[in-house]
Amino acid sequence: MEQIVKSLAAVVSGLVKTQEPMSRHTSFQIGGPADLYLQPQTTTELISALTLLKEKGIPYFLLGRGTNILVGDGGYRGAVIGLAGDFMQFSYEGTIVRSGAAVPLPRLAGNACKREMSGLEFATGIPGSVGGALFMNAGAHGRSVGDILVDAEILDCAALSLHTFRASDLMLSYRTSGIAEGSVVCFARFALSPGKMEDIERKRREFTDFRRLRQPRQPSAGSIFKNPPQDAAGRLIEAAGLKGRRSGGAKISEIHANFIVNCGNATATDVLTLIEWAKEAVDRKFGISLALEIQVLGD
């Protein structure tokens, strides 16, 4: 381990740590330690780090802002990569914004509003990064990231080379994309349109108020399950009688039954128990098999 840390530190100018608790990097505030945690600052650093990890046979996981992830209590046996530096920058080319993958969506949406650019209002309250949002095709209020994507620069996990993919190449659909696991979204370009600041701000306020009323404030990972066709996972879980159900420090939110919240000392096991209960209850009552929206990582 000492040797690989030295080698990684020689090619990565950002953080290189061992035994990093993932609870520090996830919105659930849950998760044991990753063997390695590193923050490459440039594409070159990222490629060098991935080359080293591959040579040593060390698995890796690309973490965005950790807002759609449940990391196991035992942590992750491998390297967790969080992008920083160049990947936190964005710039405009006319009405197109080119963003690094690590930029938080709410920051991008806020900046677009200041510049009187419309198109990102729906993303105001989605707490993920641009890269994570593209991987998941995140969306809200009837819009998703794929609707405004022009193209994305993605590091191919096999050849470790950067390619530009048009939106239509990425097979974006409801909370999923065709981006191969292990490939890294590095940059993305979004098409915006000129708008009036007051109109953009009004929409943003509307969306924020909507969330304030309908979503819990405690730590969570957003919606746990995808909505089945023509229905809402939250409605089904509530109708199955599970709203407010607790397991250890985790609870099915009383405000929105598709959210599981960390009441202070929840473990991943607590959350997984509630996930199983909700799945079983909905299956038993409605014959519907709920599919996870969140990603589960590690032991």
Q: Active-site positions?
A: 175, 223, 293
Six-digit token pair at 180?
């191969």
Partnered with residue 143 across adjacent β-strands are 140
Q: How far is the CB of 292 from ligand FAD (least distance, A)?
A: 12
Q: How far is the CB of 77 from ligand FAD (least distance, A)?
A: 16
Q: Which stretch binds ligand FAD (CB under 6 A): 51-59, 61-69, 71-79, 270-278?
A: 61-69
Is 67 a binding residue for ligand FAD by CB under 6 A? The answer is yes
Q: Can you tell me which of 7, 13, 18, 27 binds ligand FAD, judged by CB under 6 A?
A: 27
Is 62 a binding residue for ligand FAD by CB under 6 A? The answer is yes
Angle at 74 between CA 49 and CA 237, to 5 degrees: 110
DSSP state of 81: E
CA proximity to 203, closest of 129, 142, 275:
142
Is 140 a binding residue for ligand FAD by CB under 6 A? The answer is yes
Q: Are strands 295-297 and 69-71 parallel, antiparallel or unpaired?
A: parallel
- Binding-site size, ligand FAD (CB under 6 A): 31
Q: Can you tell me which of 128, 195, 234, 298 binds ligand FAD, judged by CB under 6 A?
A: 128
Of residues 178 through 217, those in contact with ligand FAD by CB under 6 A are 184-185, 215
Is 221 a binding residue for ligand FAD by CB under 6 A? The answer is yes
Q: Which stretch binds ligand FAD (CB under 6 A): 13-21, 108-116, 128-136, 237-245?
A: 128-136
Six-digit token pair at 96?
């197109």
Six-digit token pair at 27?
């919105």
154: which residues sit within 8 A by CB, 6+ positions away? Answer: 162, 163, 164, 165, 179, 183, 184, 185, 186
Q: Can you tell me which of 33, 40, 66, 75 binds ligand FAD, judged by CB under 6 A?
A: 66
Q: How far is CA 258 from the centre of its chain?
A: 17
Q: How far is the CB of 145 from ligand FAD (least distance, A)?
A: 8
Is 138 a binding residue for ligand FAD by CB under 6 A? The answer is yes
Closer residue to ligand FAD, CB minimum distance, 180 or 197: 180
Q: How far is the CB of 102 from ligand FAD (least distance, A)?
A: 7
Q: Which amino acid is at 137?
A: N
Q: How far is CA 21 from the centre of its chain?
A: 18
Closer residue to ligand FAD, CB minimum distance, 262 or 267: 262
CA proximity to 208, closest of 142, 265, 297, 140:
140
Is 118 a binding residue for ligand FAD by CB under 6 A? The answer is no
Q: Where are the alpha helices (DSSP H) in the chain?
A: 2-11, 43-55, 105-114, 130-136, 145-148, 197-214, 233-239, 268-286
Is 132 a binding residue for ligand FAD by CB under 6 A? The answer is yes
Residues in the chain: 299
Residues that bind ligand FAD (CB under 6 A): 27, 61-69, 83, 101, 126-129, 131-133, 135-136, 138-140, 184-185, 215, 220-222, 295
